[in-house]
Structure 1
Amino acid sequence: MSYVAPVTDATYRARVIDSLTPVLLVFLDNDSEARRAFTPVLSETARQLGDNLLVATAETATNPDTAQRWGVTRTPTAVLLHYGIMQRVLLGVRPAERLIEEIRQALGPDFGTA
């Protein structure tokens, strides 16, 4: 998948927990400066790792159950999961290169290189 997929409270289990590929679930506010800054980073991450990683976003205001489940108190908050198990939590905006490196560190150095 080379696009950023939306996740809602209703689709959370199917898209995130039951996913056979790792998932980067990013919690964002609908209209914020951080969202505008991070959206191109997420698109680039999906472009580079999309065959091996689902990049997904959830709006905190319209998906309060999912945000509460992860204790999200500020955005952006990114949760990296593999087989529904949290691997890492990343707070704040960062460049795509750094985000991809952090994902690879969490999932193994060979992740996304095949």
Structure 2
Amino acid sequence: MLRTTLLRRSEIDNPLDRRQARVTIITILGYLLLALWLGPFPAYSLEKVSAVYTSISGGYAPLWVGKEKQAFEQYGLDIHLIYMRGTIPTSAALANGEIEFIQAGASTYIPYAAHFHW
């Protein structure tokens, strides 16, 4: 047997229930207007970054694996790997802004950096 429960008039006309219903409707409309105002999230473009490695050895494997597995793209980077030999050309490219970073041994660049007077 289907049994329905009827609300008493005093429960329908309760000012607290009407106020709560009004607050709920205003909140939903507010979120809807906010979503319409913000719109869809814009697609972001990857930042292009040039990186230099100075030798072909296993020590540079994380750089190559990261490029192949697209790990840099997860962080918003479109990395371009460049092989460059020598301290002077790589340091000059970094100083001129042609590349963003170098993966190389520190012992190569310490004597070169010692000539600069910061």
* TM-score, normalised with respect to structure 2: 0.31
Structure number with higher relative contact order (C-alpha < 8 Å, ≥ 6 residues apart): 1
CA radius of gyration, larger in: 2
Which structure shows the bigger proportion of residues in helix conformation? 2
* TM-score, normalised with respect to structure 1: 0.32
